Amino acid sequence: MNFFQRLREKVTQWFAPSHFKCLGCGKELFDAVGFCTDCLKQVVFNNGKTCPRCGVGIDGEETYCCTCAYEKVYFDKAYSAFSYEGMVKKAILDMKFHNMACNAKVLARYLVYLVHKHSLQFDVVCYAPMTPSAKRKRRYNQAQMLAMYFCDMLDRDDALTEAIVKQHDTTPQEKLNKQQRKQNLVGVYKLCANVKGKRVLVIDDIKTTGSTLNECARVLKKGGAASVVCLTVASRKENYSYENADELY
């Protein structure tokens, strides 16, 4: 990102309204939690049993989730603060589709919480990219906003890097089956920063199929990244048992 792009992003950030409202119902709040006591009842923290590799919540007996058990995973670890449901799902959808970029300011606090919780060390912070035309349409990239607030809070603006660019638009991953998902992302991401020997964090709002983050991680590892850890606000819980594996793969 050049100087003027950075400046423009900073200005956007300064003028994003300070959020003292509940992300669920809009009620005035007097602390930084982001949710009022009522809405907090509908917030599911990702604190139960999780896959040791990708961090998704697991209900069953398995140690690893189906994806990590059967597929090549390029990132070293992935962590999510919440399960993608209830009020967090609403806050993320508002951030993405209802022009509520200011939600990123509150949600980024939970990414900082993950860094402290897991004592993560890093040299570079990047984010899941959008194509320029998609970004123009939404007016911002919510993953980039999260990454900016995240670096700001940790006083690590030096680490923020536009390491990956998205070269063309793709069909949303959740609309595709496993084979199509892989095909969909071939050649989409391009590395545009030197990450050789660097410990990289990749930030995104949600982890659903995980294939976007995995493809970003593949590109970063190919570029020589020493480690790649993905941080998302929320992840979709692992609902699939091994009996359903055929249908999935």
In the bound state with Zn ion, the residue whose beta carbon lies nearer, of 190 and 242, is 242
> In the structure encoding, which two tokens stand for residue 115, read together?
């860094």
58 binds Zn ion (CB under 5 A): no
Kindly state whether residue 36 participates in binding Zn ion, applying the rule CB under 5 A. yes
In degrees to the nearest 10, what's the CA dihedral of 190, 196, 199, 201? Answer: -10
Which tokens hold the place of 182? Answer: 């892989």
How far, CA to CA in Å, does 220 sit from each of 9, 73, 185, 212, 215? Answer: 24, 13, 15, 12, 9
Smallest distance, Zn ion to C-beta of residue 13, A: 24
- Is position 124 an interface residue for Zn ion (rule: CB under 5 A)? no
**Min. distance of Cβ 159 from Zn ion in angstroms?**
26
Q: How far is the CB of 66 from Zn ion (least distance, A)?
A: 8
Strands 199-207 and 189-191: unpaired
Q: Smaller CB distance to Zn ion: residue 96 or 236?
A: 236
Output the CA torsion 125→126→127→133 (10° steps): 150
3-state secondary structure of 39: helix
CB 195 within 8 Å of CB 223: yes
Binding residue (CB under 5 A) for Zn ion from 16, 44, 65, 95: 65
Q: Give backbone dihedrals phi and psi of 219, rounded to 5 degrees, phi first.
A: -65, -40
Q: Compute how many residues bind Zn ion; rule: CB under 5 A.
A: 11
Is residue 22 a contact point for Zn ion (CB under 5 A)? yes
Stretch in the footprint of Zn ion (CB under 5 A) among 37-45, 122-130, 176-184, 218-226:
37-45
Q: Does the protein bind Zn ion through residue 53 (CB under 5 A)?
A: yes
| Dihedral sign for Cα atoms in the order 157, 159, 165, 170 | negative
Q: Which of 16, 29, 43, 54 binds Zn ion (CB under 5 A)?
A: 54
Q: How far is the CB of 243 from Zn ion (least distance, A)?
A: 18
Across-strand partners of 50? 57
Nearest distance from C-beta of residue 45 to Zn ion, angstroms: 16
CB of 36 to Zn ion, least distance (A): 3
Q: Do the beta carbons of residue 192 and residue 162 sit within 8 Å?
A: yes
248 binds Zn ion (CB under 5 A): no
Binding site for Zn ion (CB under 5 A): 22, 24-25, 27, 36, 39, 51, 53-54, 65, 68
